[in-house]
């Protein structure tokens, strides 16, 4: 592209007519910028939710696990341990006890998933959430020394306070699969824990040895074998591969079965955002077509003069392509900068609005985070900018070709 073309494109841009054509040209740039900013902000929010899912929720829920079928528990034989040690996907393995129980306080009943806690399991997953010392082993064999830590929503549902007593009921079945009298024990509530989202509605923690005693399980048997992986997204293939080689009857489970819908929802929303805002940018670029067509009409005499002076069709085409792409480039650049800045400070902005108005954007009892997360990924910004400029480039081809094919004799009279 020659200096002659760049100079004329700049001159046409500077001498653009006042009124409607200038207004349409500015609106096209603003539309492209708004589309780019909206796409970057929403993608950053989706990236933030996915990051929260990975760093927060997937650190708490089991990546993969084996679950007992009967009531005798399961254990890891030496050959299974050997296979697991040789698997590079595995980070840690835990043998622990879990049970679905009913908690009763007065006339209020709440279901809960009771997890037996030991120091190693706590250090790996819950060290940042609560102190293990609150579930320290009993000093006597008195049943009154049993202690339980409840999710904050469980405590609210049962109207409990720290130091209150709560009855734990564990269901039992016989060989005919009919229910027997449930195992019952009284626990002292030693505190509340907040994990975020729906987890707070059903979690409860007790000492692992206490739960094993209630379930009549003896080491090395346990109700669950839980696996923590380096990459949680390999959980499905991992649990199937090792589960099919396991020589005991077990249920195989992974976080995809229990919490996978959250991840799939994020991916679905991300795809919808891509499609909708891509179309929004396309619509904004159509305004570039409109403004260029009107500009070609306005500059018809100037185009005719240039052609009589020896300007080629290619040069006229390049002039209007450069003129149109400049509007798209400026709009996309400003939009990407604004979108990136807003994405970086979006959590602070939302928190300020919540503090000012008293509204809550995300309910901590429903979502796994109480604030709007945001994570800017730079290739998303570059992709958005590139797509906007590319669409703008294609949008300029028709009016630029129309200007190049204009006959000078029709406009010099």
Q: Which of 225, 258, 291 is the last residue of a domain?
A: 258
Final residue belonging to a domain, choices 226, 258, 290: 258
Q: Which residues span the domain enclosing 161?
A: 62-258
* pLDDT grade for 140, boundaries at 50, 70 and 90: very low
Instruction: Please report the pLDDT score of residue 353 as a whole number.
Output: 80
Which of 91, 37, 42 is CA-nearest to residue 63? 91
Highest mean pLDDT among 110-119, 124-133, 143-152: 110-119
Q: How far apart are CA 405 and CA 164, in angstroms?
A: 87
Q: Are residues 274 and 254 in the same domain?
A: no
More confident residue, 329 or 18: 329
What is the domain count for the chain? 2
> Do 178 and 231 sit in the same domain of this protein?
yes
The gap from C-alpha 209 to its chain's centroid, in whole angstroms, comes to 36
Q: How confident is the model at residue 238 (pLDDT cuts 50, 70, 90)?
A: very high
State the average pLDDT over residues 377-385: 89
**More confident of the two residues 368 and 73:** 73
Out of 122-136, 163-177, 178-192, 395-409, least confident range: 395-409
What percent of the chain shows pLDDT beyond 70? Answer: 81
Residues 79-91 have a mean pLDDT of 90
| Stretch 242-249: mean pLDDT | 88
Q: How many CB atoms lie within 10 A of CB 218?
A: 11
What are 331-350's pLDDT values in tens digits?
Answer: 889 999 999 999 998 888 88
The pLDDT assigned to 114 comes to: 92
- In this structure, the answer to whether residues 67 and 47 fall within a common structural domain is no
Highest mean pLDDT: which range of 138-147, 213-222, 353-362 = 213-222
First to last CA, the chain: 31
366 φ, ψ to 5°? -115, -50
Are 347 and 364 in a shared domain? yes
| 123 and 250, same domain (yes or no) | yes
Separation CA 62–CA 235 (nearest Å): 10
Query: Does one domain contain both 111 and 252?
Result: yes
pTM above 0.75, yes or no: no
Q: 177 or 214, which is more confident?
A: 214
- pLDDT, position 341: 93
Find the Cα–Cα–Cα–Cα dihedral 90, 96, 101, 106, rounded to 10°: -120
Per-residue pLDDT, 18? 53
* pLDDT over 50 (residue 124): yes
**254 and 268 inside one domain:** no
CB crowding 116-144: b at 16 or more within 10 Å, else e: bbbeebbeebbeeebebeebeeeeeeeee
Are residues 20 and 135 located together in one domain of the fold? no
| Same-domain check for residues 295 and 398 | yes
Is 129 found in the same domain as 278?
no
CB atoms under 10 Å from CB of 150, counted, come to: 29
Q: Average pLDDT over the chain, rounded to whole?
A: 80
- What's the rounded Cα separation, in Å, for the pair 176 and 156? 37
The pLDDT score that the predictor gives to residue 178 is 61
**Last residue of one domain, picked from the residues 258, 285, 313:** 258
Q: How does 74-106 read in b/e, with b if 16+ C-beta sit within 10 Å?
A: bebeeebeeebeeeebbeebbbbbbbebebbbe
Averaged over 150-174, what is the pLDDT? 86
Closest CA to 328 of 266, 284, 273, 372: 284
- Alpha helices by DSSP H, listed for 131-259, are 152-158, 208-215, 235-244, 255-258
CB atoms within 10 A of CB 244: 8
Task: For 62, list phi and psi in degrees, rounded to 5.
Answer: -65, 135
One domain, residues 247 and 289: no
Q: Which of 92-106, 183-197, 260-274, 359-373 has the lowest mean pLDDT?
A: 359-373
User: What pLDDT shows up at residue 365?
Assistant: 56
């Amino acid at each position: 592209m020659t200096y002659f073309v760049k100079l004329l494109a700049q001159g046409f841009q500077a001498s653009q007519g006042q009124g409607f054509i200038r207004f349409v040209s500015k609106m096209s740039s603003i539309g492209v910028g708004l589309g780019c900013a909206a796409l970057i902000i929403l993608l950053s929010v989706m990236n933030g939710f996915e990051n929260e899912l990975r760093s927060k929720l997937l650190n708490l829920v089991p990546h993969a696990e084996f679950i007992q079928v009967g009531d005798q528990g399961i254990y890891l034989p030496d050959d299974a341990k050997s296979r697991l040690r040789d698997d590079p996907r595995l980070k840690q393995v835990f043998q622990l006890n879990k049970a679905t129980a009913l908690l009763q306080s007065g006339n209020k009943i709440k279901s809960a998933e009771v997890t037996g806690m030991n120091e190693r399991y706590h250090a790996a997953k819950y060290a940042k959430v609560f102190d293990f010392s609150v579930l320290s082993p009993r000093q006597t064999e008195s049943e009154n020394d049993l202690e339980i830590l409840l999710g904050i929503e469980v405590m609210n549902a049962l109207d409990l306070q720290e130091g209150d007593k709560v009855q734990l009921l564990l269901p039992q079945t016989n060989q005919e699969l009919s229910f027997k009298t449930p195992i019952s024990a009284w626990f002292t509530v030693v505190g509340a824990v907040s994990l975020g989202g729906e987890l707070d509605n059903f979690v409860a923690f007790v000492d692992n040895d206490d739960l094993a005693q209630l379930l009549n399980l003896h080491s090395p048997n346990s109700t669950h074998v839980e696996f923590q992986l380096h990459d949680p997204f390999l959980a499905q293939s991992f649990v199937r591969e090792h589960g099919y080689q396991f020589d005991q009857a077990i249920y195989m489970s992974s976080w995809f079965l229990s919490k996978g819908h959250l991840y799939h929802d994020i991916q679905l929303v991300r795809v919808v955002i891509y499609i909708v805002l891509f179309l929004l940018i396309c619509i904004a670029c159509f305004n570039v077509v409109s403004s260029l067509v009107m500009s070609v009409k306005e500059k018809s005499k100037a185009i005719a003069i240039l052609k009589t002076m020896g300007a080629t069709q290619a040069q006229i085409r390049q002039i209007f392509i450069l003129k149109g792409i400049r509007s798209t480039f400026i709009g996309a650049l400003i939009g990407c900068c604004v979108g990136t800045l807003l994405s970086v400070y979006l959590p602070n902005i939302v928190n300020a609005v919540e503090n000012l108005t008293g509204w809550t954007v995300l309910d901590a009892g429903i979502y796994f985070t109480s604030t709007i997360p945001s994570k800017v990924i730079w290739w998303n910004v570059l992709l958005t900018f590139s797509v906007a400029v590319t669409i703008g480039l294609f949008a300029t081809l028709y009016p630029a070709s129309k200007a190049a094919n204009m006959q000078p004799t029709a406009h010099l009279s």
